Every structure is written in structure tokens, then in C-alpha cells.
Amino acid sequence: MCGIIAYIGTRDATPILIEGLKRLEYRGYDSAGLAVISDGQVRVERAVGRVHVLEEMIQQDGGLPGTLGMAHTRWATHGAVNQANAHPHMDDVEKGHGIAVVHNGIIENHSVLKKYLKDKGHVFQSETDTEVLAHLIGELYKDDLELAVQNALKKVHGAYAIAVMCRKEPDTMVIARKGSPLMIGIGNDEYIVASDQSAIVAHTNQALTLEDYTVARLTRDSFRTTTVDNVPITPEIQELECDLGQIELGDFEHYMLKEIHEQPEAIRRSMQGRIDTATGNVVLGGISDHANELINARKIVMIGQGTALHAAMISEYLCEELTRIPCEVEFASEFRYRNPIVEEGTVVIAISQSGETADTLAALHEAKQRGAHSVGLVNVVGSTIARETDSGIYLRVGPEIGVASTKAFIGQVLVSTMLMTYIGRRRFLSTEHVDRLLGQLDRIPSQIEMVLQLSDHIKDAVARYINRDNWLFLGRGVNYPVALEGALKLKEISYIHAEGMPAAEMKHGPIALIDEGMPVVFIATRNSQYEKVLSNIEEVRSRGGHVIAVATEGDTEIASLCKEVFYVPDTMEHLQPLLTVVPLQLLAYHATVMRGHDVDKPRNLAKSVTVE
Ligand code: G6P
């Protein structure tokens, strides 16, 4: 995905755009660019690398004055990472109108359109699909930018959030969305357009989220929204709940570390008003209108990608244990193209931090089309998945900025736990069982606080293995997805190769990898599979592997088998992931800092991937 920020108003646009780009940088960060209209010209600067490179370039060139402008931070989809492919893109140099476009998404029919435009004499400067759109708008432009954008979008297939301006209309900006997020922040005689609220809240808390297929025309003191067929749409203005403190680093060195430490508070906030330990009730307003569909479900299918998929895998254990409804978990990207069986009574649950992941969204569409009832477990309020599901539960863990997901994972597991308890209670779970579960859940935030105190111990342990390039993460049962998550965290930010798998699976091949001193992390808490995990630990030890265990407090037996033990407090088996994942997050964090990599913006990644 990419980040878009645009400004029209009375203030100098460039500082606002640069600041906005920095806030949106987590959405993509291989190159960045900015354009303003000043003195009847569109002036563009683009740079490969982070936003600060662009900022320095603009300063060296004497600044870019102007009160209408747009900027973009890129995560490459079409074309290499270079200056020519960075946004904004312009229409034709020779016969163009000075039209600049920033875009997040993919224009799927760009090749056909490019050929059509080339035949008409257009000359392209980049390999991007976005430049094709800029030329198309230019081709259709007849002194009305709004109309040209509307007409161009009628010819386009794919996903887009765009902002467009034209040298000939220095008081107008046109924006549009289909499939990629875009918001308008409404200030006094100014508008700030952005991919998400993090770039808006510093300026105003009044905003509107554009719906798909909406085009908006903004001037300095008014705006109107229409469909691509120019039918007016009445927008709904909302008050943003996020404040600056939630998206600033504060005393932490990295967002990831801040977000790991926010987990106890995030869980408390997410549970607030939803759990009544006195009556043993789970109250979930977002699904109560559809309780019957859930309680009577014949099958639950959970979908997601990346970390969200791991949360879904944990939910599968919770679902079977607490509801006894058959449950399947699938990568959304696979579900989508597999001709899946969706029968009457199928409920599909989409898990997503951003609510914008293209694979998850596409799978959701597929499931809905086949008649499934859909539920979203989503963090970002008002996001596409949240809006397109029949019912849902927000994670309420606050904005997550670090690219590696931490508190959202905890939120996803927590919300699934509440959902499965809600369904289970209405099916067969006894009040005693629910009371015990909710009582233990209530203790999780303070237990995570205890686990966070292990940070220095984990750092010391990591230092001993920091030169090892291959790690294994093993667990059984509900801690198997935690092993996958531990391995994903380590590889995605430290670039150390790590594999997660069921502990028993190791002996069917991966055991060949184990040599003297190889770090093997076991999630070995006391639960129904504990004894089996001990046997797997022995198998690793006898081949020279060094065992690092996440174990239950008070388990002295395991210490003699391991080089390192990270103790977590005791809790019910199905709640253990909420604790066992935390040392693994810290492990990945410390390894990355020690290796000198960018914790919050790992290479090649983006916070959410809005292309399939
Ligand atoms: C990307 C991110 C992952 C994230 C996944 C799903 O790959 O790098 O951290 O888990 O997308 O994102 P979602 O927003 O749907 O949870």
C-alpha cells in the first residue's frame, strides 16, 4: 500500500505535506514525492528512499511554496523503486495540461489503456500504472478537472485512492476512491486529504471517509461529493476519536516497543464494557443483531493474512473448545481461488488489523457472494472490511504504527476469545466454565505487565545467539500458531531466517537442520501437551540444539533442559497465547536492534497490503 496526503487551503502546503508523509510513512517507504501548484506551475520533487531524503531535497532546492499540493509515499507494485516511478505522476509533457496524480492501488487494465494512449501520441516517463491514469485524465480534460476524472474512472478497472490537481485550475483538487482508503479532514477554509486519520488529527478532528465509487471536488472553502456519473452524494461527517498522543512515540525508541508495552492497556480497553465478571456475561453490541446466525452456525471459516492468520489459527482452537462448531482457518488468498464450499449456515470471520488487506477483502466478497454470513474482527474503525461485513467487533487496541503487528495480534486473539465465549455460552458452556474463563481473562493485562519485565533478560539471551542465522520456533496445540507468530516476528524485522511449526512435525524433516548451538525456541507452558513438548525438547538437545523455552512460572524441571527460560504466569490453556507471544515479540525486537535494522519499517514490507 502507499500513503497519500494532499492539502488545499490558505497555509503553506509543503510543511503540512511533509509532516503528513512522515505519519503515513509506515504505509510504504521505498520512495516519496510531493507536488504543489505555485505561480501557475506544477512543481514536483521526488526522491528514492525515506521521506527525510525528499525533505532535504526540497530544502536544498529552496522550498516549494504554494497552498495547494499533494504528496505520496510509495510501496512499489508496478515498476522498480526509482525516481521516475515515484509519485506524483504527470500527464503528457508535450501536449499535457499540467495534471498531477498521486495514487494508492492498482489500475488493472493499465496495459490496454497505455496502448490506447500511446496510439494517440502520449509519451510515458515511467513504468507505473498511475502515470497511465494521469495521461488518461489529461486526454479527457476539457477545462473541467472533476469531469475529466469522473470520465477517466469510468474506463478504469482496479483499485484506487487518488488525488488530482491541474495547473489550469489552481483552486481545485479532485479526489476519488474505490477499494483503497481515503479521508477528508475538514478544517477552517482548508481540507487535508489522507489515506488515514494519523495525518489528519494534528489539524482537525472533523473528517469524512470517502465511500467506494465517490469523487470529491474540493476548493479552499467548500467541497462536493458525487458518483462517477455526477450524481450528488451526501457525505457523513464524523468526529475522529484518535488523538496525537496515540500516534506519537513518547518516551519509546520505536513504535513496536511502545505497542508491545501498550498491550495490557489495550486489552483493558478492549474488554471494557464487554465483560461483566459479576454476571458472567459477554456483551458484544456489534454482533448482537446477528446472534442467531452465529449461535446456529454449522461451520465457521476464519480468514486473514500474516499475523491476522495466526490469530485466526488460535481462534480455531478456541472455537472448537468453546462452541463445538466445526471451524476451518484459511489464508484469505487461498480461500478466494479455491472454489470453497459455503453451505447454508456458514459464517465467515475476517480478521484484519487494517481492515484493508486486499486478499482478505477479496475472500470476504467471495464468501458473501456464496451466501455466508460475515463477521469482521478489525482494528481500524470505518475501514472497508469493517463496513462490508454483516456484523463485527472492533479490536479497540488503538492505532498500530509499527509494521510488525503486536498489540493488534493480542487484540485479535482477545476479541476471538470473547466472541467464542459469547457463542459458547448461548450453546452449551456452563456458567462455571464461563466464570472461570472470564476471571482468568481479567487477570491477563496484569500478567502481561509481569512478562514485560523480562525484557532485559530476553535481550541478554538474544545477545548470545545474535550471530546465528537460523532459528526454529516450536509449539503444540494452541501454542503452535504462537510459534508461527514468533518466527514471523523474527524474520520480518531482523531478517534472520526463522521457521515456526508444530513441535511434533520437527522430527519429520526439519530436525535435519539442527546442529550444534542452533537456537530452538519452544513454547512449553504447562498444559495438556506439556509432556509431549518435553520429549521434543530432548530430541533437539540430543542433536546439539540450544533450547530457549517459554515456560510456566514455577516450572523448575524445564530449566535443567534449556539454555534460557522465559517464565510467564500460569493461566488456562486456551488463554496462554495472550502471554506466550509477548516474550517472542521482545525477542524479535531486541534481535533487530542488535543487528542494526529499522524496527518499525523493515525492508520490502508495508503495514497493510492493498494489492492481491
Ligand atoms: C501485512 C503486514 C502484516 C499483517 C498482514 C495482514 O503483510 O506486514 O503485519 O499481519 O499484512 O494485515 P491486516 O491489516 O489484514 O491485519
DSSP string, 450-515: HHHTTHHHHHHHHHHHTT--EEEEEE-GGGHHHHHHHHHHHHHHH--EEEEEEGGGGGGTGGGG--
Q: What is the mean pLDDT of residues 577-606?
A: 95
607 catalytically annotated: yes
Residue 77 has pLDDT above 80, yes or no: no
* 285 belongs to a structural domain: yes
Give phi and psi for 14, each to the nearest 5: -55, -50
Co-location of 230 and 258 in the same domain: no
pLDDT in the model for residue 610: 73
Domain boundary among 417, 451, 485: 451
pLDDT in the model for residue 513: 92
Kindly report the length of the chain.
612
Catalytic residue among 2, 166, 327, 562: 2
* 328 belongs to a structural domain: yes
Residue 555 has pLDDT above 90, yes or no: yes
> Which of the pair, 80 or 264, is modelled with greater confidence?
264
532 catalytically annotated: no
Domain boundary among 451, 473, 501: 451
pLDDT in the model for residue 29: 86
Which residue has a Cα nearest atom 15 of ligand 1? 352
Co-location of 484 and 416 in the same domain: no
Catalytic residue among 22, 489, 601, 607: 607
Co-location of 523 and 534 in the same domain: yes
Average pLDDT over all residues of the chain: 95
- Give the Cα separation of 402 and 60 in Å (integer): 30
pLDDT tens for each residue of 170-194: 999 999 999 888 999 999 999 999 9
pLDDT in the model for residue 248: 87
Cβ–Cβ < 8 Å for 24, 3:
yes
- Residue 102 pLDDT class (50, 70, 90 cuts): very high
* 348 belongs to a structural domain: yes
Sign, CA dihedral 509-514-518-519, equals positive
- Residue 415 pLDDT class (50, 70, 90 cuts): very high
Co-location of 222 and 291 in the same domain: no
Sign, CA dihedral 215-219-224-230, equals negative
Co-location of 458 and 434 in the same domain: no
Domain count along the chain:
3
- Residue 95 pLDDT class (50, 70, 90 cuts): confident
Instruction: Count CA atoms within 13 Å of residue 289 on its CB side.
Output: 9
* 420 belongs to a structural domain: yes
* 609 belongs to a structural domain: no
Residue 484 has pLDDT above 80, yes or no: yes
pTM of the entire predicted model: 0.90
- Give the Cα separation of 259 and 404 in Å (integer): 10
Q: What is the mean pLDDT of residues 58-76?
A: 94
b (16+ CB within 10 A) / e for 441-454? beebbebbeebbeb
Co-location of 68 and 138 in the same domain: yes
pLDDT in the model for residue 147: 97
DSSP one-letter code for 127: S
Of all atoms in ligand 1, which is nearest to the CA of residue 492? 8
Residue 323 has pLDDT above 80, yes or no: yes
* 131 belongs to a structural domain: yes
Residue 167 has pLDDT above 90, yes or no: yes
pLDDT in the model for residue 246: 84
Residue 57 has pLDDT above 90, yes or no: yes
Q: How many helices (H) and strands (E) does the chain have?
A: 21, 26
* 129 belongs to a structural domain: yes
Co-location of 121 and 94 in the same domain: yes
* 611 belongs to a structural domain: no
Question: Domain with 219 in it: what CATH number?
Answer: 3.60.20.10
pLDDT in the model for residue 243: 78
Question: Domain with 294 in it: what CATH number?
Answer: 3.40.50.10490
Residue 31 has pLDDT above 80, yes or no: yes
Pocket lining: 360 vs ligand 1, CB cutoff 6 Å: yes
Q: What is the mean pLDDT of residues 360-383?
A: 95
Q: How far is the CA of 355 from the centre of ligand 1 (A)?
A: 9
Maximum pairwise Cα distance, the chain: 79
- Give the Cα separation of 111 and 117 in Å (integer): 10
pLDDT in the model for residue 530: 93
Domain boundary among 430, 451, 472: 451
pLDDT in the model for residue 453: 98
Of all atoms in ligand 1, which is nearest to the CA of residue 360? 15
pLDDT in the model for residue 241: 81
Co-location of 287 and 187 in the same domain: no
Co-location of 346 and 487 in the same domain: no
pLDDT in the model for residue 266: 97
Co-location of 447 and 549 in the same domain: no
Co-location of 484 and 585 in the same domain: yes
Report how far apart the first and last C-alpha atoms of the chain are (Å, whole number). Answer: 11
Residue ranges making up the domain that contains 460: 453-599
Report the residue among 307, 360, 612 best suited for mutation to probe ligand 1: largest number of ligand atoms under 8 A from its CB: 307
Co-location of 446 and 508 in the same domain: no
Angle, CA of 447, 448 and 453, to the nearest 5°: 100
Q: How far is the CA of 53 from the centre of ligand 1 (A)?
A: 26
Q: What is the mean pLDDT of residues 5-29?
A: 94
